[in-house]
Amino acid sequence: MEIRNGRFTRRAVAAVIIIVVAVFLFLMSTVTIQSGTVGVVSLLGAVRETTMSAGFHLKAPFVMNVTKVNTQTQKIEVSSAAASKDLQNVSVLAAVNYHVDPQGAARLYKNVGMSYEIRIIQPAVQESIKSVIARFSAEELITQRQTVSAGIKDELAQKIGTYDIITDEFNIMNFDFSEEFNRAVEAKQTAQQDALKAEQELAKITIEAQQQVEQAKAQAEATKARADAQAYATKAQADADAYAIEVIQSQLAQSGDAYLEYQRTQKWDGKLPTVGGANAFIDASAFLN
């Protein structure tokens, strides 16, 4: 009975060992590649050019190794110190979005390994920042920030592109200058604001003076117009009077006695003369003939 129990125990242990080995061999013979990654295959230490895409794959155990490389967009922040064209010290904080080219993942792994962010990207970002910053003055770095950022991105893309790393986006998060430069910028801005205020005040004074000149011109023109109108009216009245006299003289010249009669009618005030006394009588017809 004991012999049978011993044989059963040995068989059970052997079965368990076989199952464990089978499971282990199965696990060593399969690999699952998640979406957003590719599998770089190494056969006996030699990196193959072809990669495994997302999905379930079989592989030779012990002799084949699969390294998963992330091909999704990743972000890295890099700080760098640089000098501007006018020798101002500048501290730059930048953010880079990048991804590994799936077609070149095997080459990247073969030539650089998995530490490409530290060995390739960070030094390339710092070098690109220093190279481009040196082309601009400190003031231009502020006023032409988009141009500076685009220049750094282009240079960075060339540097890391040779390693099958693609630059998706580059952003300058912050420029930090020396305290002396910041004070100089603040003083310049204050001076510009004061100059702009003085210019605006001068423009206001000029406009007001011009308005006064225009008002004076308008008043002078109005006065002249009134004077011209008065002179015209006076002349018109004089012409009318002269014409009337001329007409009267022309008519009177046609009859001599009529002119004397006209003179008497012009001088008579319309009152008949009076004489005292009860028997006084005056023939008024003499004044009317």
Question: What confidence tens digit (pLDDT) does each residue in 20-59 have?
Answer: 766 666 666 678 888 889 988 888 878 888 888 888 877 7
Residue 58 pairs in a beta bridge with 30
Separation of alpha carbons 229 and 11, rounded Å = 139
- Same domain for 66 and 82, yes or no, is no
Residue 124 in any domain: the answer is yes
| Same domain for 81 and 63 | no
Q: Are residues 123 and 53 in the same domain?
A: no
Helical H segments across 42-117, by residue range: 105-111, 116
Domain-embedded: residue 86: yes
Residues 89, 170: one domain?
A: yes
- Within 8 A by CB and 6+ apart from 30, the residues are 56, 57, 58, 59
Query: In which domain, by residue range, is 154 found?
Result: 74-177
Residues 80 and 168 in one domain: yes
Domain final position from 14, 36, 70? 70
Closest CA to 168 of 103, 109, 95: 95
Residue 154 falls within a domain, yes or no? yes
pLDDT in tens, 256-270: 566 556 666 666 565
Give me the number of domains the chain comprises: 2
Using the 3D structure, point to which of 149, 177, 205 is the last residue of a domain.
Answer: 177
Torsion angle of C-alpha atoms 34, 40, 44, 46, degrees rounded to 10: 180
Whether 233 is in a domain gets the answer no
Same domain for 105 and 149, yes or no, is yes
Cα–Cα distance for residue pair 66/155, rounded to 1 Å: 33
The owner of tokens 């501007």 is 84
Query: Mean per-residue pLDDT for 176-201?
Result: 73
How many CB atoms are closer than 10 A to CB 111? 14
Mean pLDDT of the chain: 79
**Is there a single domain that holds both residue 169 and residue 104?**
yes
Among 78-87, 166-175, 219-228, 278-287, name the one with the lowest average pLDDT: 278-287
Residues 60 and 82 in one domain: no
Show which of 118, 144, 177 is a domain's final residue. Answer: 177
As a whole number of angstroms, the distance between CA 70 and CA 101 comes to: 10
Say if 85 falls within a structural domain: yes
**Taking a C-beta distance cutoff of 8 angstroms, is the pair 175, 142 a contact?**
yes
- Asked if residue 113 is part of any domain, the answer here is yes
Distance CA 75, CA 124 (A): 15
- Angle, helices 179-253 vs 256-267, to 10°: value is 120
pLDDT at 272 over 70: no
Answer yes or no: do 81 and 53 share one domain: no
The answer as to whether 187 is a domain residue is: no
**Position 241 in a domain:** no
Which residue would you say has higher pLDDT here, 28 or 122?
122
51 and 87 together in one domain: no
Least confident of 106-110, 205-209, 267-271, 284-288: 284-288
